[in-house]
């Protein structure tokens, strides 16, 4: 009663509505009434669906007056009024209001969009989900499940992974489910349930492959090169169909990757074939006869012979019309490749004090490593010297460069990881007992081969983490070669290596018996 008297003093010759003509006075009156209602709510308990607040006095009439006035205000005024009102409530009342507002603020947009003929928008939104979230979305309601099923969202998720992850792409090709991908709805494709059940099978395959790498489980195939005189396979490169190898007996042999039969032998070099690279058009080889030869990859015909270096051509790389060769004569040659028959010398890079054993490059840098214990960095565009990476204690035999990372192997028996931009050595890997002759890396692993006949698999991400103990870096040591390992290449499923023992080994981590 005291509160009522304070909030509503007795009228003086006028009615309630007649005396409140000013807009601000109206707001004040509603505010007072609402505060009274709030106080009564605290006193009598909250209004809920199961326990309705009993009416007292003129509550219903006063409530109608407040609602009528509230409805006359603009949205901005209504919001301002409610903010003032809420600011005067207690914590319990805030919780009650929050519970009341939550369902009002929720919107099932996925169900609402198809009702407006916008199924494609609902599908597009859900297509960004990962597998775990897509599983959860299927359980929301039948309408969400229908959108996911009719939108073939499991198929789209698998396609997204195949586009962005080489491991998924390789599995799709090897297990032949790629034929069911990247086809529109007008083409005959399996239902969404096929892709829904395919996804966990792919995950299981990936986990099995990773476990095989970690544990060294593999299926081994062996190619005996049967060289006539001097034995040894100095270099190789492979794809899904073939392996091309350069031999100590001066020949280049092309092998069928499935049957392992020799398809073709290319002859012409008068010295050992020390390095090679091929693409869809040509094979380029370097030899101890000091020449670089260009061959037609399909016919085996010699298209060009480059005579420049004074001693053995130890390594070469080509890409996008540019080729870099290096030699025992301590020089690096940069070539412009307009066509297989039109190759011209652009620049000779001089600076190493011993044989240049390996080169690699991209659009920014040319990187070279030498028997003088140094790695040198040159600008690809200007061919100007940039910096030297120092750290190896003896000559450097192999190297790979990608992005900011350089990984090198040396006759000091170590592998070093470098940041090419600042020249810092990030990590030293120890474990080989003799010269590290070949090295490759991808996003997960480093694989190295050495004169001790061993191939080692290293954890690249751990090697880049300075907190990782050295004992955890080497994942597996593979011992099958009986001679020095000269060259290797690997992908997500296999390593292919060559050796002084005149063999090529295929280490298959996918098809393990």
pLDDT tens readout for residues 495-512? 999 999 999 999 999 999
- Pair (120, 202) in one structural domain: yes
**% pLDDT > 70, the chain:** 88
The answer to whether residue 455 is domain-embedded is yes
Query: Do residues 188 and 247 share a domain?
Result: no
Q: What is the pTM of this model?
A: 0.78
* Three-state DSSP state, 140: coil
pLDDT at 24 over 70: no
What per-residue confidence (pLDDT) applies to 107? 76
Asked if residue 316 lies in contact with residue 277, where contact means CB atoms within 8 angstroms, the answer is: yes
CB 67 within 8 A of CB 81: no
Helix, strand, coil distribution of the chain in percent, nearest 5: 30, 35, 35
Contact 84, 70 (CB under 8 A): no
Same domain, 195 and 293: no
pLDDT digits (tens, 9 = 90+) for 155-206: 999 999 999 999 999 999 999 898 889 887 666 788 999 999 999 999 999 9
157 and 234 part of one domain:
no
Q: Which of 118-132, 204-218, 362-376 has the lowest mean pLDDT?
A: 118-132
CA angle 156, 108, 194 (to 5 degrees): 25
268 part of a folded domain: yes
**Interatomic CA distance for residues 272 and 191, integer angstroms:** 56
- What is the count of structural domains for the chain? 2
Determine contact, residues 317/291, Cβ cutoff 8 Å.
no
- Same-domain check for residues 228 and 143: no
In this structure, what CATH number is given to the domain that contains residue 347? 2.130.10.10
- With respect to residue 59, please indicate whether it lies within any of the assigned structural domains: no
What is the three-class DSSP state of 228? coil
- Is residue 5 assigned to a domain? no
Domain co-membership, 248 together with 364: yes
Residues 360 and 479 placed together within one structural domain of the fold: yes
Choose among 165, 238, 243: nearest CA to 205: 165
Q: Are residues 281 and 415 in the same domain?
A: yes
Residue 298 has pLDDT above 90, yes or no: yes
Residue 302 confidence (pLDDT): 98
pLDDT tens by residue, 76-128: 999 999 998 899 899 999 999 998 888 888 777 778 777 777 878 888 888 99
The mean pLDDT of 358-369, rounded to a whole number, is: 98
Residue 7 is assigned to a structural domain of this protein: no
| More confident: 42 or 499 | 499
Domain carrying residue 360: 216-508
From 187, 214, 241, the end of a domain falls on 214
Q: Are 360 and 254 in a shared domain? A: yes
Same domain, 169 and 117: yes
61-75, 275-289, 364-378, 409-423: the lowest-pLDDT one: 61-75
pLDDT value at position 230? 87
Q: Which of 221, 223, 249 is nearest to 234 (CA)?
A: 249
Domain boundary residue among 192, 214, 236? 214
CATH number at residue 115: 1.20.1280.50
**Is the pLDDT assigned to residue 324 strictly greater than 50?**
yes
> Could you tell me if residue 501 is inside a domain?
yes
Structure tokens at 474: 């080497």
Residue 40 resides in a domain: no
pLDDT of residue 284: 98
207 with 289, same domain?
Answer: no
Which residue, of 181, 197, 214, is where some domain finishes? 214
**Count H helices, E strands: the chain?**
14, 28
Same-domain check for residues 471 and 413: yes
Question: pLDDT value at position 53?
Answer: 58
> What gap in Å lies between CA 409 and CA 317, rounded to an integer?
18
Name residue, tokens 């003799």.
434
Which DSSP state fits 299? Answer: T
Is residue 71 in some structural domain? no
Token reading at 114: 């198809």
- Model pLDDT, residue 469: 96
pLDDT in tens, 438-465: 999 999 999 999 999 999 999 999 999 9
């Amino acid at each position: 009663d005291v509160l009522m008297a304070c909030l509503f003093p007795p009228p003086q010759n006028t009615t309630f509505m007649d005396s409140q003509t000013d807009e601000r006075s109206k707001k004040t009156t509603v505010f007072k009434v609402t505060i009274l209602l709030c106080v009564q709510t605290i006193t009598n308990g909250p209004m809920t669906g199961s326990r309705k607040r009993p009416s007292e006095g003129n509550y219903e009439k006063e409530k109608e007056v407040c609602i009528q006035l509230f409805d006359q205000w603009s949205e901005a005024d209504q919001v301002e009024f409610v903010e003032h009102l809420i600011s005067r409530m207690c914590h319990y009342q805030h919780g009650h209001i929050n519970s009341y507002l939550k369902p009002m603020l929720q919107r099932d947009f996925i169900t609402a969009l198809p009702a407006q003929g916008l199924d494609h928008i609902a599908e597009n939104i859900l297509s960004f989900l990962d597998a775990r979230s897509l599983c959860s979305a299927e359980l929301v309601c039948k309408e969400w499940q229908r959108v996911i099923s009719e939108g073939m969202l499991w198929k789209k998720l698998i396609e997204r992974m195949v586009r962005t992850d080489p491991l998924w792409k390789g599995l799709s090709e090897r297990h032949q489910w790629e034929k069911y991908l990247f086809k529109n709805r007008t083409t005959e494709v399996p239902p969404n349930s096929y892709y829904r059940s395919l996804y966990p099978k792919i995950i299981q395959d990936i986990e099995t492959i990773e476990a095989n790498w970690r544990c060294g489980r593999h299926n081994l195939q062996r190619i005996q090169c049967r060289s006539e005189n001097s034995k040894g396979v100095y270099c190789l490169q492979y794809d899904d169909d073939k392996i091309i190898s350069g031999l100590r007996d001066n020949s280049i042999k092309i092998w069928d990757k499935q049957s392992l039969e020799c398809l073709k032998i290319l002859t012409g070099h008068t010295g050992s074939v020390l390095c090679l690279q091929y693409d869809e058009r040509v094979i380029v080889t370097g030899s101890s006869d000091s020449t670089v030869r260009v061959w037609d990859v399909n016919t085996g015909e010699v298209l060009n012979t480059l005579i420049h270096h004074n001693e053995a051509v130890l390594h070469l790389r080509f890409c996008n019309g540019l080729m870099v060769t290096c030699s025992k004569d301590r020089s690096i040659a940069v070539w412009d490749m307009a066509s297989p028959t039109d190759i011209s010398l652009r620049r000779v890079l001089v600076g190493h004090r011993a044989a240049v054993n390996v080169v690699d490059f991209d659009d920014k840098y040319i990187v070279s490593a030498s028997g003088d214990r140094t790695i040198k960095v040159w600008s690809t565009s200007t061919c100007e010297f940039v910096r030297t990476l120092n750290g190896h204690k003896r000559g450097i035999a192999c190297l790979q460069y990608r992005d900011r990372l350089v990984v090198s192997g040396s006759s000091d028996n170590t592998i070093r990881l470098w940041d090419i931009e600042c020249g810092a050595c990030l990590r030293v890997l120890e474990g080989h007992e003799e010269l590290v002759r070949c090295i490759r890396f991808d996003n997960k692993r480093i694989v190295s081969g050495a004169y001790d006949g061993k191939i080692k698999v290293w954890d690249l991400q751990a090697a880049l983490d300075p907190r990782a103990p050295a004992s955890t870096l080497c994942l597996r040591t593979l011992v099958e070669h009986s001679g020095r390992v000269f060259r290797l290449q690997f992908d997500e499923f296999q390593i292919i290596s060559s050796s002084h023992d005149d063999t090529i080994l295929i280490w298959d981590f996918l098809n393990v018996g």
